[in-house]
A = this chain, B = another copy of it.
Amino acid sequence: MRIAIDAMGGDNAPAEIVKGCVQASQSIDAKLILVGDQEKLNAELAKYQDSCDQSKLEVVHASEIISGEDSPVQAVRHKKDSSMVRAVRMVADGEADAVLSAGNTGALMISGILVIGKMEGVERPAIVAAVPQINHAGRYTLIVDSGANAECKAEHLLSFGRMGSIYMHNAFGIDDPTVGLINIGTEESKGTSMLKDAYKLLKESGLNFVGNIEARDIPGGLADVLVCDGFTGNIVLKLMEGTCLELLRRIKAVINDSLVSRLGGGLLSGKLREMKSQLDYSSEGAAPILGIDGLVFKMHGSSDCVAVCNAVIKAANLASGSMLEDCRNAMKGGLFE
């Protein structure tokens, strides 16, 4: 098992990326290939020379970096020796079983499409986000697409449902995950004509489709997988995160308002902190780009070494399982052949 890591992507690269990989290498049986500026990466690795066995770590040089501001298509086309493109190419060339990056999401998506290629039967790969269910600690709802395709056809939503179900099964061990369609009413007749068509396709798909889910019911976790266009998914993801953060901030202000309330808050602080950490939207570490014909994982841009370590372990687990093959089988003969 070999995992390629874009060691130069993300807010905390390369230091936290390298540190996270060093940590992960102690607990998994995989070769970790750090792609990026050789000199800088070796200097980072040197920090752990005495404390850790580095036999499972390897550095592959890449001279360029794709930044967060780069235009994805331009960057992938022109920065062929960037750490991201080089790392993705290792999967395309069979030199790695999976690739991870905390860099530019759009560029990672385009790298996957241009360098590895789309899976047979997939027209639109999708970015997913696993959001913590507010009232079920440790449980997640998957949003597909969470931002890649602002406009979608009904058939895309069907493929998001198929791929999302396979991911939830492989990554979270959920058998026959429930799939819901985000809509503005529960009745089959609700929403745009695209959504009405998507409803019909999902109903006849053989997936465990539970119908339309209104936004009010999303935080309650009524379905394991929620499908929607990437515009809606992005709004849902960021609005839930923003609302939780703002409400927790307000509660903090309420607690700090008087001596009595500070006392009350003090008695609750341990449990509130625990709740807050369970609601942390970055806790899931890495999410795959579904529909690429290889395992490509996006880590949060702000990932620290703990997040990187978790992400690498998660990617290795999925790479050793059957997710990619399951996805290929489900999509082959899809609507887009």
| A residues at B contact (CB < 8 Å) | 134-135, 147, 150-151, 182, 184, 191-192, 214-220, 230-232, 234-251, 253-255, 257-258, 260-261, 263-268, 271-272, 275
CB distance from A12 to the nearest CB of B (A): 21
Contact partner of A260 (CB less than 8 A), chosen from B243, B267, B272, is B267
Chain B residues positioned under 8 Å from A238 (CB to CB)? 214-216
Chain B residues positioned under 8 Å from A250 (CB to CB)? 134-135, 275
Residue of chain B at shortest CB distance from A271: B254
* Contact (Cβ within 8 A) B192 A215: no
* Contact (Cβ within 8 A) B191 A246: no
* Contact (Cβ within 8 A) A231 B191: yes
Contact partner of A271 (CB less than 8 A), chosen from B240, B242, B261, is B261
What are 28 A-B residue pairs whose CB atoms fall within 8 Å in the complex? A134-B243, A134-B246, A134-B250, A135-B250, A147-B184, A150-B191, A182-B235, A184-B230, A184-B231, A184-B235, A215-B237, A215-B239, A215-B242, A218-B242, A218-B243, A219-B243, A220-B246, A231-B232, A235-B235, A239-B239, A239-B240, A243-B247, A244-B247, A251-B275, A254-B271, A260-B267, A261-B267, A264-B265
Given contacts A240-B243, A244-B247, A267-B260, contact A215 B191 (CB under 8 A): no
Summarize A's interface: helix, strand, loop or mixed: helix
* Contact (Cβ within 8 A) B239 A216: yes
Q: Which 7 A-B pairs have the closest CB atoms?
A: A264-B267, A215-B238, A216-B242, A215-B239, A264-B268, A219-B246, A216-B238
Chain B residues positioned under 8 Å from A216 (CB to CB)? 238-239, 241-242
Residue of chain B at shortest CB distance from A219: B246
Residue of chain B at shortest CB distance from A137: B250
* Contact (Cβ within 8 A) B243 A244: yes
CB distance from A325 to the nearest CB of B (A): 33
A191, A214, A240, A275 — most chain B CB neighbours (10 Å): A240
Contact partner of A232 (CB less than 8 A), chosen from B235, B260, B261, is B235
Chain B residues positioned under 8 Å from A218 (CB to CB)? 239, 242-243
CB distance from A107 to the nearest CB of B (A): 15
* Contact (Cβ within 8 A) B235 A219: no
Chain B residues positioned under 8 Å from A237 (CB to CB)? 215
Separation of A260 and B249 alpha carbons in the complex (Å): 22
CB distance from A70 to the nearest CB of B (A): 14
Chain B residues positioned under 8 Å from A214 (CB to CB)? 238
A151, A255, A261, A271 — most chain B CB neighbours (10 Å): A271
Given contacts A192-B231, A251-B251, contact A268 B261 (CB under 8 A): yes
